Amino acid sequence: MIRRMATDPIPQFPAGFLWGVSTSAHQIEGAADEREKSVWDAFTAEPGRVKDGSTAEVACDHYHRYREDVALLAGLGVDAYRFSVSWPRVNAPQGLDFYDRLVDELCAAGVRPVPTLFHWDLPLTLDWLDRDTAARFAEYVSVVAERLGDRVTKWITLNEPAEHTLLGHALGTHAPGRQLLFDALPVAHHQLLAHGLAVRALRAAGATDIGIANSHGPTWPASREQADVEAADFYDVLLNRLFADPLLLGAYPAGLGELMPGDVESDLKVIAEPLDFYGVNYYAPTRVGAPQGTETEFGGVSMPAELPFSVREIEGVPTTDFGWPVVPEGLTELLTGFRERYGDRLPPIVVTENGCSYEGIDDQRRIAYLDGHIRALHRAVDAGVDVRGYFVWSLLDNFEWAEGYARRFGLVHVDYKTLTRTPKASYAWLRDVLRAQG
C-alpha cells in the first residue's frame, strides 16, 4: 500500500485546540555533571546496553542552548512546548534554576510550558519496586510546583509507565535493565500510585489542569483463530488497559488487582484521582498472535519465547526507518475505541506524542506521516471524540534511549559533533499548517 500526501489543506480544528511539540530531559539536556545520576546514566555506562555505545552526557546540550531552542519553538509557531523536568537535576543544587529560566524564556516567547514530571530518568538512589518511591515522587512534585506553578498551568505527571515497566523492568532493554517479566507488575502499580499522589500534590499547589501521558495503540489479532484472539486480548490488557483502567475506572482489569502489592483497594482511590485531560502517545497498532516458541524482535526490542503472545509484522503498510508500521487510521480507531470503552469516565484527550524516525533534512516521509496522522486525528474529532491538543514528537533529533543517536525523530536536525540545529522540511511544513490553523 502506497500512501500519498493529500494536497488539500489540513481540516480546521476547533477553536482553542492546542498545538505543540514534545521532548524529554534526558534525551536533550546534556550537562550531566550538573545533576545527580539517574538509572539511565548507570545503564548507558554498561557495555552493550546502547547500540552505538553512546551516552546522553552532552546529548543536544539543550541545558546551555535552551534560548536557541525556544527561538525554534517560536519560529515554528506552536502554542505549547511539552518538556520533562529531570528529577535528578532538581535534586542537585540550583537544579530548579534551569527550569525557572526555561519557563521564563517560553513565557516571553508566547509558548505555553507543559512540563512532564517523570520521563524515565529515575534518580539512581530510588527504585520503582519500592513503594516509598511513590511518596518521594510526590514530595519532588510539590517542590517543582511551588517553584514553577505561578507560570505553569498545565501539568503531566508521568510519561509512558507501560514502556518504563515493560522495557526497563520486564525485558531489560531499557534502564534499569531488569528482566523480571511478570514480576515487574509492582513497578506498574507504584508508578500509578505515584501519579495519584502527584495529582494530589499538584492540586494542593493550586494546579487545575493535570493529566498523564500514556502510550496506547490498537491491538490487532494475527488471525481469527482463538489462540491468536486470546493472545491479542492479553496483550491489549497488558499494554493498554493495565494503565488506563485504574486511572479512568478505579479498578484493574480482572485478575490483575490481586497481583499488585499493598492495599490495592485503598491505592486505587488515589490512582483514580480525577484528571483534567488524558494524554495519549500514539505511534502504531500492534499485530499480535499466539506464542511461536522462539524469541522475536519488534521495533528493536527482543521478545522472549516464554511470553504468552508474539508480536507479528503488519503487512502491506510502509514503515519508518525504525521499522515501525505507519498506520494513521490506527489513531482514529484508538481514540474512538477509548470513547466507546470509557464513556463519560474519559476526560478530554490530548495527543501528547506522535512522530516518526526518518533520516534526512528534506524529510518528505515525515511530512507525509504527520499529514496522515493529523487528518486521522481530525476524523476522530468529527466522530465526536473530545480531543483538545496534538504534540509532535519531537522538536529535536536526540538520544533515542537504547538506540543511542541512530534514530532521528526531530523536526530539527542536530549535528551531534557541532550541535548545530538545522530545521528540516517538516519544520517548515508544520509551521505553515499552524499558520493556516490560525
Dist. CA 41–CA 397, nearest whole Å: 19
- Check if 329 is active-site: no
Is residue 286 a contact partner of residue 311, using CB atoms and an 8 Å limit? yes
CA distance 220 to 286: 6
378 is in an annotated binding site: no
Q: Which amino acid is at 334?
A: L
405 is in an annotated binding site: no
Give me the amino acid identity at 391.
F
Cβ–Cβ under 8 Å, residues 336 and 380: yes
Beta strands in 152-291 (DSSP E): 155-159, 210-215, 219-221, 278-281, 286-289
Which DSSP state fits 402? G
Contact between residue 337 and residue 218 where contact means Cβ atoms under 8 Å apart: yes
State the pLDDT at residue 299.
75
pLDDT in the model for residue 43: 98
Handedness of CA 243, 249, 251, 253 (dihedral sign): negative
What does the pLDDT read at residue 79? 98
| Residue 18 burial by Cβ neighbours in a 10 Å radius (0-12, 13-18, 19+) | buried
Q: Phi, psi at residue 165, to the nearest 5°?
A: -75, -55
Q: Would you call 160 a catalytic residue per the annotation?
A: yes
240 is in an annotated binding site: no
Contacts of residue 50, defined as CB under 8 A and 6 or more positions apart, other chains included, come to 43, 44, 401, 402, 403, 404
What is the residue-level pLDDT of the chain in tens, covering all 438 positions? 334 455 689 999 999 999 999 999 999 999 999 999 999 999 999 999 999 999 999 999 999 999 999 999 999 999 999 999 999 999 999 999 999 999 999 999 999 999 999 999 999 999 999 999 999 999 999 999 999 999 999 999 999 999 999 999 999 999 999 999 999 999 999 999 999 999 999 999 999 999 999 999 999 999 999 999 999 999 999 999 999 999 999 999 999 999 999 999 999 999 999 999 999 999 999 999 999 989 888 777 888 999 999 999 999 999 999 999 999 999 999 999 999 999 999 999 999 999 999 999 999 999 999 999 999 999 999 999 999 999 999 999 999 999 999 999 999 999 999 999 999 999 999 999 999 999
State the pLDDT at residue 1. 32
pTM of the model: 0.97
Q: Which long-range contacts (CB under 8 A, 24 or more apart) does 46-51 make?
A: 46/177, 49/177, 49/402, 50/401, 50/402, 50/403, 50/404, 51/300, 51/402, 51/403, 51/404, 51/406
User: Taking Cα atoms as reference points, which of 286, 201, 209, 279 lies closest to residue 247?
Assistant: 279
Catalytic hit among 29, 36, 105, 160 = 160
Answer whether 340's CB lies under 8 Å from 383's CB. Answer: no
Which residue is listed with cell 478530554? 348
Determine if residue 249 is left, alpha or beta; phi over 0 gives left, psi from -120 to 50 gives alpha, anything else beta: alpha
Q: Which helix (H) or strand (E) covers residue 99, if one does?
A: helix 95-108
Closest CA to 401 of 79, 41, 154: 41
Q: Which helix (H) or strand (E) covers residue 296, if one does?
A: strand 296-298
Half-sphere exposure of 408 (CA within 13 A, CB side): 19
Which contiguous run of DSSP H or E holds residue 201? Answer: helix 185-204
What is the reported pLDDT for 248?
Answer: 98
pLDDT at residue 298 in the model: 77
pLDDT value of residue 297: 80
d(C-alpha 266, C-alpha 255), whole Å: 17
| Residues with Cβ within 8 Å of residue 338, at least 6 apart in sequence | 216, 244, 280, 346, 349, 385
Class of domain 18-437: alpha beta
Domain coordinates of the chain in residue numbers? 18-437
Grid coordinates representing 371 are: 499529514
Rounded (10°) CA dihedral 213, 218, 221, 224:
140
Strands 412-414 and 421-423: antiparallel
Name 348's Cβ contacts closer than 8 Å, sequence gap at least 6: 276, 277, 278, 386, 387, 388
Quote the cell numbers at residue 99: 527550569
**Does 12 appear as a known binding residue?**
no
Residue 40 is labelled as binding a ligand: no
